[in-house]
């Protein structure tokens, strides 16, 4: 892992199945790793990595926290 991600440790890599069907890989934020459950509902959030690059992440729905 590169130094650019050092401040993100620990992070949870997830595969999210969208309501529309496709599955995508991302990171789960605002959630302790031990709180992650298969099937939990999540919402997309966007993080500006640079002025030119925005990343998508997911966080638990407010009802899941």
Contacts of 54 (CB under 8 A, 6+ apart): 46, 47, 48
Nearest alpha-carbon partner for 61 in 47, 13, 48, 37: 37
Contacts of 65 (CB under 8 A, 6+ apart): 30, 31
Three-state secondary structure call for residue 65: coil
- Give Cα 54 to chain centroid, integer Å: 13
pLDDT tens figures, 13-55? 999 999 999 999 999 999 889 999 999 999 999 999 889 999 9
* Residue 65 included in any domain: no
Domain count, the chain: 1
pLDDT at 18: 94
Range of the domain at 15: 3-60
CA dihedral 43, 4, 54, 42 (to 10 degrees): 0
* Residue 28 included in any domain: yes
* Residue 10 included in any domain: yes
């Amino acid at each position: 892992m590169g130094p650019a991600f050092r401040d993100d440790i620990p992070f949870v890599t997830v595969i999210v199945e969208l309501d529309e069907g496709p599955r995508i890989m991302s990171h789960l934020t605002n959630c302790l790793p031990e709180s992650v459950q298969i099937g939990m509902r999540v919402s997309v959030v966007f993080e500006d990595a640079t002025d030119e690059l925005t990343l998508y992440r997911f966080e638990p729905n407010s009802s899941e926290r």
